Structure 1
Amino acid sequence: MKFLAFDTSTDVMSIALSDGTRSWQHTGPGGAQSSTTLIPAILALLAEAGVALGELDAIAFGRGPGSFTG
């Protein structure tokens, strides 16, 4: 199962990806900045893992509050 999770509700943006065997992670500045950095960071993590967006079986996110999802 290929799974992507992210949270932008704190001062640290967190992104994690797993293919069921291996996992990758990225952290960066959260808060208002994450509205412009989240999508590029997700795409970079997917590229690093060699996983296409359409291959994901599930996506989870921290609901917030936060500048991007809350």
Structure 2
Amino acid sequence: MELSEDGEVWIITDEETGVTTEGETREHALEMLDDAVAAYNGEAGRPPTDEELRELGIDPEENTSGELPDVLK
């Protein structure tokens, strides 16, 4: 783990996979790395919550197809 040259972000690399992420804090960089390694390993993410859909301007009650909107694919 290292702090970027400009001291703005933390950069972290998973040695096993070679996946690298960054975050504004050490904790954020580690959280981002967990997500990135899971994606690298093909682990499916969780479905978005209704609140997360609303933040993207999607009304969950109007999504009657049961499919994720294009923005979430």
Q: Which has the higher contact order (CA 8 A, sep 6+)?
A: 1
TM, length-normalised to structure 2: 0.35
Which one has the largest radius of gyration?
2
TM, length-normalised to structure 1: 0.36
Between Structure 1 and Structure 2, the one with more strand by share is 1
